[in-house]
């Protein structure tokens, strides 16, 4: 199953949940062949809503197996164990969820597509409840004391009530995750999916060309009583901009400005460039098609039916015309494959910025390389001699690989240029000269890292990146 197929099914399933059609949503999720950690999490939540705790446990197992740092998955599996009265395992999962918070007051999953904040005080609240069930009242009280220390104002009443119950050695209510909240796919990727066709393929009702199999669409002609038996040049084509051509060969776009067409399509040529690429309109979309893939159409009353409409050409298409000599088409392997075009000799900043905009991701969070595996020689960054990169292009084409920074893979680390002290509990304080391990890139100005036993966010301007895998 391709990335686009998974994305489409994921979006369809979430839409079913929004419409309260949970059985259909679960059916679609279960049909996905290789679920990621978020999809496994969604499946577990739906099973929890159905009170199928065994299936929910299995789904959360899959989510944690795919992402062992997903704190909310440990939290949900802990709730599942609680409902199954497997308290020891429940306490273990709540403890793992608390550890995954890495000393922060909360994790906001909005950026990952889940409208939920997991609070440390709520995880400790549940840990205290399980300890109380096990008769460990002292441990329960200690956990609630920790919860009081890191609670937010909105959670004050919840923790205070639990603390009063513990002092009386009484149980209290479990904090549960709203299982109807699910991880949603990236809205930018969903927007790139082709529009759904709810009406089906259009059928030709009336055509100006005898026996036409016209695959485009144009308004119907007004009917005039006692009109001429031989129509004049069709008014609809007079109204359309450009000259009509029939497509002879299928074109697979290699860049975003090329237009996908198949034999038999009728397009309207707006402009023919000196490089033999034509700007055309087809079904309301404008793009580039090689002019040698097209054949002009004559719609005069005496014209013969154009060849190639009944039976599309089966011979090999002609050579694609070369684009401008200074343009390079770059095929980029990401989670999916896409292509961009840039002038030869472009700087690294221009290259990474265009890729970042294409992926709707921060350019600073991407790794570029000339080979599938990143090595010191293949990685492309701001220090790379771009002349040597562009010299690898053949016939105006180049292949690259792109990945998002992965924690603990390249062991990206920084050296502190200045001392940073902050009273904010989410921030990481450090001294000048300290070494900091990168955990994630928040944006261009803020990073998340680990210094000794402490973790948190810090300003990027206070540090300098060390060489990859450097000590």
pTM above 0.85, yes or no: no
Percent of the chain predicted with pLDDT > 90 = 28
Do 327-403 and 413-465 come out as alike in CATH topology? no
Q: How confident is the model at residue 308 (pLDDT cuts 50, 70, 90)?
A: very low
Q: How many residues does the chain have?
A: 471
H helix or E strand, kind and range, residue 139: helix 137-150
Q: Which residue has the higher pLDDT, 211 or 158?
A: 158
CATH architecture of 413-465: Roll (2.30)
H helix or E strand, kind and range, residue 26: helix 22-30
Average pLDDT over residues 423-450: 83
pLDDT digits (tens, 9 = 90+) for 348-368: 999 999 998 888 787 877 889
| DSSP one-letter code for 356 | H
pLDDT of residue 3 exceeding 70: yes
Kindly report the average pLDDT of the chain as a whole number. 80
Question: What residues contact residue 171 under an 8 Å CB cut-off, 6+ apart?
Answer: 129, 132, 133, 165
pLDDT digits (tens, 9 = 90+) for 23-37: 999 999 999 988 899
Q: How confident is the model at residue 219 (pLDDT cuts 50, 70, 90)?
A: very low
In order, the DSSP letters of 288-320 are EEEGGGEEE---STTPPPPTTSSS---SPPPPP
Average pLDDT over residues 222-232: 49
Identify the weakest region by mean pLDDT among 169-183, 251-265, 267-281, 315-329: 315-329
Asked whether 391 and 426 are in contact (CB, 8 A), the reply is no
pLDDT for position 433: 92
pLDDT for position 232: 47
| Every domain of the chain and the residues it spans | 3-187, 235-296, 327-403, 413-465
Q: How confident is the model at residue 167 (pLDDT cuts 50, 70, 90)?
A: confident
Return the closest-CA partner of residue 422 out of 453, 462, 452, 465: 462
pLDDT for position 304: 54
Backbone φ, ψ for residue 309 (5° rounding): -80, -45
Choices 2.30.30.40, 3.30.70.260, 3.40.50.2000, 3.90.79.10: CATH for 235-296: 2.30.30.40
Return the closest-CA partner of residue 60 out of 92, 100, 50, 47: 47
User: In which residue are the tokens 């298409």 written?
Assistant: 317
CATH T-level fold of 327-403 = Ubiquitin-like (UB roll) (3.10.20)
pLDDT for position 84: 92
pLDDT digits (tens, 9 = 90+) for 115-125: 898 999 999 99
Asked whether 251 and 258 are in contact (CB, 8 A), the reply is yes
pLDDT of residue 322 exceeding 70: no
Strand 117-119 to strand 106-108: parallel, antiparallel, or no bridges (unpaired)?
antiparallel
CATH 3.90.1150.10 fits 3-187, yes or no: no
Backbone φ, ψ for residue 333 (5° rounding): -90, 115
pLDDT of residue 171 exceeding 70: yes
Q: How confident is the model at residue 108 (pLDDT cuts 50, 70, 90)?
A: confident
pLDDT of residue 312 exceeding 50: no
């Amino acid at each position: 199953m391709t990335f686009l197929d998974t994305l489409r099914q994921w979006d369809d399933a979430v839409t079913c949940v929004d419409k309260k059609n949970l059985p259909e949503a679960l059916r679609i999720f279960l049909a996905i062949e290789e679920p990621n950690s978020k999809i496994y999490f969604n499946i577990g939540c739906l099973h929890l809503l159905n009170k199928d705790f065994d299936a929910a446990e299995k789904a959360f197992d899959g989510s944690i197996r795919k992402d062992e740092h997903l704190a909310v998955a440990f939290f949900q599996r802990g709730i599942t164990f609680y409902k199954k009265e497997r308290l020891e395992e429940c306490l273990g999962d709540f403890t793992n969820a608390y550890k995954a918070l890495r000393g922060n007051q909360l994790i906001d999953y909005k950026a990952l597509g889940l409208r939920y904040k997991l609070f440390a005080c709520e995880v400790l609240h549940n840990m205290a409840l399980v300890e109380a069930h096990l008769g460990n009242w002292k441990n329960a009280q200690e956990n609630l004391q920790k919860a009081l220390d890191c609670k937010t104002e909105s959670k004050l009443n919840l923790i205070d009530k639990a603390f009063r119950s513990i002092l009386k050695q009484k149980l209290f209510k479990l904090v549960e995750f709203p299982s109807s909240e699910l991880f949603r796919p990236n809205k930018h990727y969903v927007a790139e999916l082709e529009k759904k066709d709810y009406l089906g393929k259009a059928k030709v009702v009336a055509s100006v060309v005898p026996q036409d199999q016209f695959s485009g669409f144009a308004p119907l002609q007004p009917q005039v009583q006692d009109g001429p038996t031989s129509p004049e040049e069709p008014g609809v084509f007079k109204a359309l901009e450009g000259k009509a051509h029939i497509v002879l060969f299928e074109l697979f776009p290699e860049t975003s400005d090329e237009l996908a067409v198949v034999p038999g399509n009728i397009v309207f040529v707006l402009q023919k460039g000196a490089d033999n690429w034509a700007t055309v309109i087809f079904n309301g979309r404008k793009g580039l098609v090689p002019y040698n893939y097209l054949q002009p159409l004559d719609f005069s009353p005496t014209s013969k039916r154009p060849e190639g409409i009944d039976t599309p050409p089966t011979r090999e298409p002609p050579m694609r015309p070369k684009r401008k000599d200074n343009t390079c088409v770059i095929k980029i392997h990401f989670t999916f494959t896409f292509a961009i075009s840039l002038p030869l000799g472009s700087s690294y900043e221009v290259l990474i910025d265009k890729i970042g905009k294409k992926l709707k991701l921060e350019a600073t969070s991407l790794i570029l390389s000339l080979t599938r595996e990143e090595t010191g020689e293949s990685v492309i960054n701001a220090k790379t001699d771009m002349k040597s990169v562009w010299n690898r292009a053949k016939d105006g084409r180049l292949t690259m690989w792109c990945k998002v920074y992965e924690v603990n893979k390249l062991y990206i680390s920084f050296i502190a240029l200045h001392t940073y002290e902050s009273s904010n509990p989410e921030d990481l304080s450090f001294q000048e000269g300290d070494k900091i391990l990168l955990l994630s890139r928040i944006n261009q100005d803020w990073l998340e890292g680990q210094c000794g036993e402490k973790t948190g966010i810090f300003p990027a301007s206070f540090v300098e990146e060390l060489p990859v895998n450097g000590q």
